[in-house]
Structure formats: C-alpha cells, structure tokens
Structure 1
C-alpha cells in the first residue's frame, strides 16, 4: 500500500483547486465535485467524486415537498432516454440516444444547443451491442461524452462545439461506451462495455484540456508471450488457466468509477468475464483477476494499489460494475473511510477504501449462490450446485440481471443509509449442450457458454423494491415494494427525502428515515433513469428524464400490464420546483395494433430456424417472442416484416441505422427470410390472442 504524507495531501488539494476552469476559462475550484460541496451544481454522474447521488440542498424538504410542482418539460425524440442529466451554472446538460448532447436553460427549459456526433452511423457492427448514453460529465468548461463507436468527445459547454475527440478502443472490437466518463483533477477517465465477443477490459485517462492520453490500466491479463504491462497484470495472470487471451477475458469497466481526492485513488468496478462460463473461459480453474472486482489505482499514474474480488472465478454474469459510494462511517467505535457497493450478486459490501480490507458483507436481497461471505478470507462460501456441475440445472438468485443493476443507488451522509433500487428475480441456468466442443462466438452475438432461463411469464418471479440499508449494522431499515423489477435510479437529499421513478409512470419522494411516500407525480410514461437536484439563483430544482432503455426488452411480458408502446412512449425532461404549477399535456396512449399480414403462410421449419437467429441477434432489443415493451419497436406492430423488400432494406442495406437499428449484411437471403418468417409467425399468434 502507498502511504501519503500531509504535505502530499496539501499539494494534491492545491493542484485540484488550480486544475479546473469555468466555461469562460476563468479559474474555477474543484468544489462542485467534493462530497461536502454546497450542491449548487450537479457536475458529474454521482454529483460528487464519491458517487453518492446525494444533494445537500434543503429548500425541498418534508415540509415543503407537498408544494413541489412541475416547472417545465422538454419533449425528446424517439432516442433511448434512460440517461441522467447534469447541471452547472444554471444550464442542464444531458446525452440521449447515441450520445446526442443537449444544453437547456435550467430555469426556462429553452434549448441552448444540441450536439450530434452521429455515433450510430459510425458504430458499424458495434451498433448491435450498446444501450445508448447513460450519462455525461462536466469539467474545465467542457462536457465529456462517450459514444457507441468508442470516441471520447470534449464539447465546449458554452457553444456546443467540439473541442477534441479521441478514439478509445479499436473499432474492430465488439465494444461500446454507454457509461458516463468521470472528470477529476484536470483529467477524464473512461472505460467501455462489451461481453458479447473478444474483449479485454481497460480504462484510459486523458488530459481534460487536450485529450492527450495519460495512462491506461488493463483489468485482465493478456497473452503472457507478449509480456505484461505491469506487476499487477503479471500477478493476475497467475489466476487464469488455459489460453484465455484468445477470447479476451472480459472485465470491462462500463459503469462504476469513483475517486478519492484525499489519497488520489481511482476505484474501478469491473465486469464479468468473457466467455461468461468459467469452465470455458479458464477451464474452471483460478480466480480470474480482476473480474468482478473493486480495483484501486493511482489517479495520477494508474499504478495498482489494491483489489477486492467479489466473485472469484465468476461464472454467472455477476459483474461488480454497479455504483460505488464513498462514505465516512463509525464502525465498532472507530472512524473508517469506506467504499460501499451493492453489486449484481446480491451482497452489500463495506470495504476500507484505504487498505482494500473487507469490513462486512451481507445479502440485501434473496441470495442462494452462497451461504455467506467469509470475513477472514473475504471469499464467498459457495453453494456447489450454483456452478451447475455435470450438466445439471440450477435456479439461482439473483438472476444475471442482478439484485441491483446500473440504475444507481444513493448514499445519504445525513441518515447514513444507502438507498438501493433492488431487483428480485431468479433464473434457471445450465451449460450449453456439448460444452466440451463449445466455441465462444466472437461476432457480437452472444456471451454464450451458459443458458439462462428467466420465468418472464410469472410476475411474482420478477419484482422490485426501494430498500434503505444501514451499512454499519448491515440490516434493512425499511423498504417500499414495487410490482415489477424495472425501476429507476435513486437520489437522496439533505432535505430528508429520497426520490425515485418507477416503470408505472410514478415519480415519488419518500421520507428518508421511514420510507413513507410524501409526494408523487404522474409522469404518464415509465422511468428508469436517476434524478438530480441543483440550484439556480434561490430556487432548488429536481430534474428527471422519462422513458425506458433498450435492455428491458427481455422483460416485456412482465411489463405488458402497463401497455407500454415504444412508438408512442413519451420521452421527456421534467423539471420541478416549489410552487411551480405547469401542467403536462393530455397525451393519448394508444397502443398500435399488430400489423395485418394477409399473405402470411405458416412455415414451421423456417420459423424455427428464424427463432434461433432471432434469439442470438435480436432478442436483447426487441424482446422474447418479438414482444417489446421497451425502447426498440415491437416488431409485430410493424409492417416492415410483411415485405421482403422492406425487410432487406433494413437488415442488408441499413435503412434505419441513423435511428439505431444496425444492419446484418452477413445474413444470407435464406437466413433473412427465416427471421422474417419467425416474426410473422409471432404476429399471427398475437392476432389470434395466443401470444
């Protein structure tokens, strides 16, 4: 471990103060990003370096929230809108769809500028992978956004003009950027996503003013024959087996990054492996560092400091890429500087952020893959059946959707509670048939090597909750149950409130101490994004962006009760303030009928072949059985599959690429026709009422 002297800390603090500028290039301190700042601005994804998703503003509290009303709204286009805004100096910024960044006057809702990097057109085959932008960052008078095709772009926050752009990964790799870059100490750090083909994870840090690369840290080792980048990779290689590098290994940092300015430490939340199955990826041997881990590195150099691995030999898509909040707690009578996180595997971890030592770990939702976490070793005591041995199946909790996904939790230093948007869902898991001869695909189609089976027809098997969790006692303080798993990210405030939106179109404020609902607003459209709060003049605002993201398409049967139509779904920026009285228009929520197809003729063999292709390439966006309740259109309600020419223009020619629909030019005429037959068969079932 590296030890820091007082003088070094003082130098770091002075460097932070001198290292940022205002939009007009005048000196601006780093206070907006400090956990203890006044909360006027919300400059980054978690507001602060510590990613607490907490606002210290108090104008909106338990006494005044009843007078909270809509100040203005801004209608968006058909882009994926599951994204969080930021706010600096009275301007609201956000990126929707494929990183189309908007700047809006936060008081009036007036559009100031719009920057479209045309990422969908530039992404090529990688358009098949991502979910669109989930967040952006501000720093040094610039907005930083990542794109589907792997660019990190700096935009002048005042004018909307591009300042610089760098390519962060090889575009031939099956990767993309959906998570928010993070700004710190005059630098910008960004990772990427991708577990659908050959990928080796890493993060890269750039100079915030010039885009010059400063350092890169890989999260899994490469081919030993090529040598190792550092001692950390040499150490990690000893925990892998076989020829893992041929498949990349995975471990992408696609979401969670936190920063501690006191020790100049960056904390990385790493992803699962590729291939998913440990038996395929590493012959069932070794811990496979640094998959499913919290990794601490120097913010200045990228030098490794410590790691804690949550799932050694990860084999369930249990990545550790969920947000990590930094907190100061008193544990066993002693002050501790900690990192708290509620990752996919259903365990809430409290980790000493200086040493990396595990302090405590307890389940925050139903968990059956392990009986406990051994605090002496830091390792889980696994249920042997959870690794689905010898061709057996196992119903595992949580599912690979996680007990908590990317929608952020919040941590309140006032209540000292974490507020988690919990997913309660399990899945049945088993090996691919003939695993000994299984070859992981490298073509952006599937992580493969285990087969998950979600019981999407039973609503009781997929519910959600907002859970208030005490990190010191490791116990639930209170919970609010939700009827479905698809719910929004969370924000806590010093006003004693917790805000969250839900898929049923409700945006609510809860008493942070008790969980009692104290305010509610009917948005008329689903919410999965987290809200933010900020101040302009003397007024505190709360902003939320409505609309679903692509990844929920697989849960469309459970969401069907809400009659969500991707075509008519309203995607909006909603901003609230005390005493505001704006009213949303009376929207008509008409679900488009299933398209007529008078020339349809059943062909079970062709439909069965098309189902295989559809499940491999299409289900993640368009849903099981072509039933979509998310962002991508419900294909049963489109006339395009009824026409072979129109279908070919989309899949072969890329007629809808600019709208986010990738081309599949490698499909043969026969394959394309089989997929079309499968969709038309599902359309027929829908018309007959059997789907």
Structure 2
C-alpha cells in the first residue's frame, strides 16, 4: 500500500512568496516496501542492477557494467518519466537506486522514495532542518548525496546531524549530532559513505570559522560513534589524541589552534575493500592565508592531503600531501578513485586524484607513494611535481613576495566536487575541469591583530576589495570534459564546454559517458573517442552526476536537474546561460530505450531588472553596502548582485526597495523556513547600505 503524504503549508504568502525560496513537505506514511537487506550490496554489485552508493561501488568509479544502453542504440534513448521539483538551491544531489526504488534528496535533506520505473511517490521524510539550524544556514550549501545500508537510507544535514531512515517506510531510525556543539561552526555539505556496517562523515566550516577538521565513523545500524580522526593537530598543551597528531604538530608554527587550522573533509571518502582502509581527502587551511594561520611556514599536516586510515580503528596508515603549506584554498577533497592497472609492466593498485590545484595524481594505494603527477588544466603556481620527493616545485611568485598576485587554478579549482568517473573498459578517467584564475592580496594585513569576521562570514585572511560593479564573467568556454589516461598522464580526448562548472560524470560498459552540462543538456559521448552520440534538452543546467540501474531486465538512467549552490563567483557565468533562481525547471529525469515521455514546451523568461528612478542612490552608502554584500550576501546572490541560480537576483526584486519587508526578511528571518538565513547582527544602517548597493547595481545593469 502506497504512502499518503500530508503537505505542509507555505510559511509565507503573497509578497514574500515572490522570493521563490524552497518550501518542502513532510510526510507520514505506513508503506511496507522491501528496501533490501544485503549487507554486501555495495561490494557485490558487479551485475549493475542497483546503484546503492555514491560511486555505485566502494572504489568510487561511478561506473556501470550495464550494456543494454550502448553506443549502437543510445540514439533511441528517451524520457521514461519526470518529477517536477519545488524551488530550491539544492537539486544537484546524486540519487540512489536499490531493489527498484529510487531515493533522492533535495533542499534541506528532504528525502523522497519513488518507484524507479514510474516515478510514483512512495514516501517523503523531512527532518525540518531550518527549525534549529541558526547561523549554519548561511553556509548556502546542501548535502550532495545519501547512502544506503541494510534497509536504511543514511543522510546528513547542513547543521551537522547524521541520521538514518527506513528505506521501506521513511521512518526515522536514529540521529546523531556530529559536531562539538551548536556554535562550533561545523556543517555538513558532503555525502556520507558506508563501508561494511560503518558510515563515515566529515564536515565543512574552515572558510567561515576557527574550525579544526575531523572525520568520524558511526555504526550504520545504530548510529553509535566508533572512532574519530582529526585532520589537523590541536593545542599541544591539551595533549594529542594520537601519534599522528603529534607528528603533524611538528609541521605547524605559532599558535595555529587558536584559528582552528582547517583541513575539513567536506566531500570525498573512499573505502579500499582490498586493504580495508579508508582514504580521506582533506581541505584548505583556516584561514587560507598561511602567514596568519601558521606564521613562519611549515607543511601544516594534514591540510590538502589524501590520508589513509585503518577502516576499523581510524588509525593513521599513511598520507600524501598535495600542497604543503597550503595558502590558496587548494582542497584535496575531490574524488579518490581506485583501480588496478598495468604500469611499466607491473600490476599496481592505484588511487587517482585530481584536486583543485590542477595536477592529476596517481598514488600507490599500498604505500601512499607518488607514481606520477601532471597538470590536467592550466597551472602557474608550480612548475611540476618532483617524483622523488612527491613535493611540488613551486613558482616563487606563488607565495606573493610583493604581497599579491594571481594564481591559476583559482579557489574554484581545476576540478571541484562534481564527480569524476573511471571506465575499466577504456582505462580512461572522465574528468570535469575548469579554467579560472584568482587574484590574492595580503598587503596591509597584520598577523598579530587579524581576527576572523564573525557570524559565519567567508573570511580567507586575504584582503578583498569591495565589489562595487558587476563581476565579469569568464571566457565563453571556461571548462571541459576530459578523458584522462592515468598511465600516460595525457588526455585521450577533450570537449570544450560553456560555463564555469558542468555536471558530474557516469561511465558505462556500453562504451558511453553521460554528463549533464551548464547549457541544459544531458549528453552521451562515446567513451573511447568523445564523439557526441545523443543529446537531451533538460531545460535546465545540470550539476549532479547521473546513475544507471536495471529493473525487470531494463536499464534506466536517472539525473537531477538544477543549477546553483556552487560559489558566489559563478553568478555572472551561469546568469549568462540564463539560469534564474525562480525560472529554473528543476526535475528528476529518468530515461529508458524507447521512452516516449516529453517535457512541456519551455521558453526562458528573462525577468527584467527592476528600475526605480525615484530611488535616490547615496554613493557613500552604496560603497559601505558593497563590503557587507560581499561578506554576507554574495555566496547566494552573486558578485555584483548578479545571481546565477543559487538565490534570487536582488536587482530584480521588488522587496529590496521596500525597507519594511526587506528588514523582515533579512534581519528578522521571516523567510528562514523558505531558505533565506537570518542576519540579525545587521543594524538598520547596514540594511540601508545594502539597499543602496543593490539599487546601484540595478541602475548600472543593462537590460538582458
């Protein structure tokens, strides 16, 4: 018997509803659908029937062995069914499929279960995150996926909780707070990974708080905490948790613990079933600027590293650091894909890793030693990676001897969190890449007096000039999908793409590679040549990776569409592609050979810039507002107030000129339940400055 859902009413109507922020449903149900009970389903999924984990199997290859859909017939692939999704800045999550049921999450960790062949709703679970999230709502991200284990769906929340619901009914089974307190600055934006009865999760927060990174393993059946590994050392006076922390502390200078240190593992984990190890990808320093974080230098372990841990105990095994003394937001939190390949006539167990810094690393999984490393995108911060030491040969200019400079890749990275895929069939890894630099300026910053901005505000430790004019978009083709050969360290083929970011990747044994792109198409490429074999107009940009599975002997492919929640800097790039927050056609799309479902006709409606000639702009106030906007608003509403799909374009909003309503939403949190955080620390003068800045940007804008 199918579940019946009770829809929650919208929190705000009328004028405030014009914001378009997310309003989701909670659901009561009594369904009893078989959710599967195979504890080894992630390891034993060689038949490809299910997609039970983020990368399908433990090795994070994002590869399906299914061949029903292949290069010879993919041209007949058609839409089987669709689900229209509510307005949200989080529809880039990767779904799961087990036993004919598809599971996906959007918004603030609202999980849905549907029939994988029809899209018919079975149940919905809403954890009501915004009821108590507080300042962490400002993180503007959302979990990128969910996990399955033993009849359970395991998910995380932006405020730092990990929870499990029944895969058959959606009933809450357990919940754990993974943070060290409600105000510790930690939040979760990545997908949990399950391995042999354990679930591992990390957290974010190093960009906005004095945060010390860690990862934690829990019992997947009960939620009981099993072990925790800190990715940077704490205060030596309090003692070290283990020998790894004692070793790492020798690579730090000053009183780093007072500023957290960083190293947050916010995205990628990989379980090595052969060696019974967990590989953890760690993040940037807190703050980015090493002169503030660790005066006098040092490698600052375990920032920007791949760390191997014993899966049962969490004990340190080995590490490889991609950026000693990290100072540019060069996360190593990107995918770590496992494979066994032939190199120089020898079979090697390898780990493939393309972090933000622009180099593609091949590591020996047994020892952690570097096998090879070559740039996969434009790099100017280092000349090469020394194969003997494993360390980068840095360009001296990258440390800003004059106090400032431009680094490529920039903080967006040459590769970000969008999933890469590896095909054992072709031996190629399919990598979504980006070309973009960034300017850094630390002049005039005093390490002794510097203090981080409070209230969950992005503060890198570099000087940021007020954004007083629209931020320019990057090159028309600022990214590419590359088929990378990990043995030769060269691309087999490369497809230039529009937009700063494009979607995650799926490879299949049908000699196919699927990827959604920034232009709004789901595309199938020949895995060996890169030839375009099929395109579907999804009517929306796509960031999520597709999945493939088989039900009743038929192969299906599912992807979520939606563009947003990347970073504030992408605003002009995606706005140029037309992805407005309110206008997006967010959906779950499922395909099958011969599918005949169609999407309704769609024409992008360009909402005009709101012109208010009677509003007298005060230039001095607008300049103040530019600084406030850059710190508190840009992440969602875009640089120069040019939004790119993450939040509404405030230059077009009738709310901003109305100070009473603007105050209710921004300072009083009237739209908190709809996705708009509360900024109660702002004063009336601050809000007025923001108002004048946004109206100034509207006046400067050209009609689209």
Q: Which moved more, 1:554-563 or 1:346-355?
A: 554-563
What residue is the counterpart of 1:58 in the other structure?
67
Go from structure 1 to structure 2 and tell me whether the alpha carbon gap of 1:367 and 1:456 turns closer, same or farther (over 3 Å shift).
farther
Give 1:279 shift: 0.9
What residue is the counterpart of 1:616 in the other structure?
631
Do structure 1's residue 426 and structure 2's residue 442 form an aligned pair? Answer: no
* Aligned 8 A contact 1:130 1:177 in 2: no
* Aligned 8 A contact 2:93 2:144 in 1: yes
2:585 aligned residue (570, 573, 576): 570
Alignment of 1:137-148 (within 5 A): 137-148=147-158
2:452 aligned residue (440, 447, 472): 440
Go from structure 1 to structure 2 and tell me whether the alpha carbon gap of 1:27 and 1:648 turns closer, same or farther (over 3 Å shift).
closer
What residue is the counterpart of 2:615 in the other structure?
600
What residue is the counterpart of 2:408 in the other structure?
397
Give 1:24 shift: 5.4
Alignment of 1:200-211 (within 5 A): 200-211=212-223
What residue is the counterpart of 2:246 in the other structure?
234
SS in 1 for 2:504: strand
SS in 1 for 2:589: strand
1:548 aligned residue (550, 563, 583): 563
Alignment of 1:292-441 (within 5 A): 292-391=304-403, 393-436=404-447, 437-441=449-453
* Aligned 8 A contact 2:80 2:595 in 1: yes
Cα distance in 2 for partners of 1:663, 1:207 equals 35
What residue is the counterpart of 1:70 in the other structure?
79
TM-score by length of 2: 0.92
What residue is the counterpart of 2:544 in the other structure?
529
* Aligned 8 A contact 1:274 1:447 in 2: no
TM-score by length of 1: 0.94
Give 1:452 shift: 6.8
Give 1:178 shift: 1.3
1:185 aligned residue (180, 186, 196): 196
Go from structure 1 to structure 2 and tell me whether the alpha carbon gap of 1:198 and 1:461 turns closer, same or farther (over 3 Å shift).
farther
1:98-128 Cα offsets, whole Å, 9 max, x none, are 1111111110011111111111232100101
* Aligned 8 A contact 1:32 1:38 in 2: no
Do structure 1's residue 135 and structure 2's residue 145 form an aligned pair? Answer: yes
Go from structure 1 to structure 2 and tell me whether the alpha carbon gap of 1:107 and 1:527 turns closer, same or farther (over 3 Å shift).
same
1:71-101 Cα offsets, whole Å, 9 max, x none, are 0000000122111111111111111111111
Go from structure 1 to structure 2 and tell me whether the alpha carbon gap of 1:581 and 1:263 turns closer, same or farther (over 3 Å shift).
same
What residue is the counterpart of 2:50 in the other structure?
41
SS in 2 for 1:450: coil
Q: Name the structure where helix makes up a greater proportion of residues.
A: 1
What residue is the counterpart of 2:229 in the other structure?
217
Give 1:639 shift: 1.2
Give 1:484 shift: 2.2
Give 1:261 shift: 1.4
Give 1:635 shift: 0.7
* Aligned 8 A contact 2:664 2:670 in 1: yes
Give 1:382 shift: 0.1
1:26-73 Cα offsets, whole Å, 9 max, x none, are 752414335x62111111111111111111111111111011000000
Cα distance in 2 for partners of 1:562, 1:378 equals 40
- For structure 2, the 5+ residue unaligned runs are 1-31
Cα distance in 1 for partners of 2:578, 2:568 equals 13
Cα distance in 1 for partners of 2:86, 2:243 equals 48
* Aligned 8 A contact 1:554 1:624 in 2: yes
SS in 1 for 2:484: strand
SS in 2 for 1:601: coil
Cα distance in 1 for partners of 2:317, 2:695 equals 55
Do structure 1's residue 175 and structure 2's residue 215 form an aligned pair? Answer: no
What residue is the counterpart of 1:97 in the other structure?
107
Go from structure 1 to structure 2 and tell me whether the alpha carbon gap of 1:59 and 1:614 turns closer, same or farther (over 3 Å shift).
same
* Aligned 8 A contact 1:554 1:622 in 2: no
SS in 2 for 1:328: strand
Give 1:664 shift: 0.5
Go from structure 1 to structure 2 and tell me whether the alpha carbon gap of 1:64 and 1:462 turns closer, same or farther (over 3 Å shift).
closer
Cα distance in 2 for partners of 1:156, 1:239 equals 45
- Give the number of aligned pairs: 666
Give 1:160 shift: 0.6
What residue is the counterpart of 1:17 in the other structure?
none
1:111 aligned residue (111, 118, 121): 121
Go from structure 1 to structure 2 and tell me whether the alpha carbon gap of 1:475 and 1:222 turns closer, same or farther (over 3 Å shift).
same
SS in 1 for 2:248: helix
CA RMSD of aligned residues (A): 1.8
SS in 2 for 1:650: helix
